[in-house]
């Protein structure tokens, strides 16, 4: 039976207990993320023999996490009003555990797969570039470009308030041509790793090298502080893969298969 998690202390005890059992899991969220979700009362739990499911409510879907003891297969999931989205980050050469076929038996189906690309920064990137930052006045257009360019469930798109905060921190680059915004790149930091969160170019401007320029601007800008730059790219987007590889990014062996269970 699914029950609500009412406070951060309850969430901490659940995560600590299951991690201590060394179970199979896809729950790799930073503490600040899952405790914030618990404080906002967006989390629920379903306990059963040999395992535990966690549900994190989002605007359009529910993020699904699991803990399964060795030898325990996924159990049926009660019908819910939004799609369930499950992502498993793993090493490509080791494959997926538990197998996708086991999750298909309880209603999930393959949705997409991403691959992580990285570029170690040995020392600051040489040369000089003129960096153009997005302004607050660009926020609405950037949000519209995000909605048009990214699928709704796993892209972690920011709301307007979060985007404006990124703009204020000068973590959104812009490409302006003929006085209009034609592309943007939003990034952030995970300690000394700099992460590309979203990049998009207007459909009418694709094929003109704008995406490649934005990526090179980003790497050049952050190279004095970053140990490495990293990003995730969909494996069904070979054009994007080629573009990133041409700018120096290479796979590090991590893949993220995503499965979805439709609502109801």
Tell me what the pLDDT averaged over the chain comes to.
93
Tokens 């915004």 correspond to 181
In tens, the pLDDT along 9-45 reads 999 999 999 999 889 999 989 898 999 999 999 999 9
Which residues are CB-neighbours of 133 under 8 A, at least 6 positions away?
167, 170, 172, 173, 174
| C-beta of residue 224 within 8 angstroms of C-beta of residue 124 | yes
Closest residue by Cα to residue 174 from 225, 144, 210, 127: 210
| pLDDT the model gives residue 91 | 83
Class of domain 136-255: alpha beta
Find, among 180, 235, 184, the residue nearest to 213 by Cα: 184
pLDDT band (50, 70, 90) for residue 94: low
Q: Is the pTM of this model over 0.85?
A: yes
Nearest to 219 by CA among 201, 194, 238: 194
Q: Could you state, in order of their start, the residue ranges of all structural domains in the chain?
A: 2-113, 136-255
For the segment 203-256, what is each residue's pLDDT rounded down to a tens digit?
999 999 999 999 999 999 999 999 999 999 999 999 999 999 999 999 999 999
**pLDDT level of residue 133 (50, 70, 90 thresholds):** very high
Please state, in angstroms and as integers, the Cα–Cα distance from residue 2 to each residue in 13, 16, 48, 76, 85, following that order: 17, 19, 10, 12, 17
- Determine the average pLDDT of the residues in 93-120: 86
Q: Report pLDDT for 98.
A: 61
Whether residue 146 is preceded by a cis peptide bond, meaning omega within 30 degrees of 0, is: no
Radius of gyration of the chain (CA): 20
């Amino acid at each position: 039976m699914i029950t609500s998690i009412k406070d951060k202390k309850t969430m901490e005890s659940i995560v600590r207990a299951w991690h201590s059992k060394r179970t199979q899991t896809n729950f790799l969220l930073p503490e600040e993320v899952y405790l914030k979700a618990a404080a906002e009362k967006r989390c629920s739990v379903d306990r059963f023999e040999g395992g535990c499911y966690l549900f994190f409510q989002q605007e359009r879907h529910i993020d699904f996490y699991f803990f399964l003891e060795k030898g325990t297969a996924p159990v049926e999931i009660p019908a819910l009003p939004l799609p369930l989205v499950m992502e498993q980050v793993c090493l490509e050469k080791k494959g997926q555990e538990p197998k996708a076929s086991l999750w298909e038996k309880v209603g999930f189906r393959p949705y997409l797969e991403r691959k992580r690309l990285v570029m170690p920064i040995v020392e600051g990137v040489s040369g000089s570039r003129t960096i153009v930052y997005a302004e607050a006045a660009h926020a609405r257009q950037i949000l519209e470009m995000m909605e048009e360019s990214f699928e709704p469930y796993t892209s972690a798109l920011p709301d307007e308030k979060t985007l404006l905060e990124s703009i204020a921190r000068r973590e959104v680059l812009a490409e302006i041509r003929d006085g209009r915004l034609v592309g943007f790149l939003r990034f952030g930091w995970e300690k000394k790793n700099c992460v590309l969160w979203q990049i998009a170019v207007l459909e009418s401007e694709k094929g003109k090298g704008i995406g490649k320029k934005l990526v090179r601007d980003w790497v050049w800008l952050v190279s004095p502080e970053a140990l490495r730059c990293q990003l995730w790219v969909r494996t069904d987007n070979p054009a994007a893969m080629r573009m990133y590889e041409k700018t120096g990014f290479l796979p590090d062996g991590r893949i993220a298969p995503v499965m979805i269970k439709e609502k109801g």
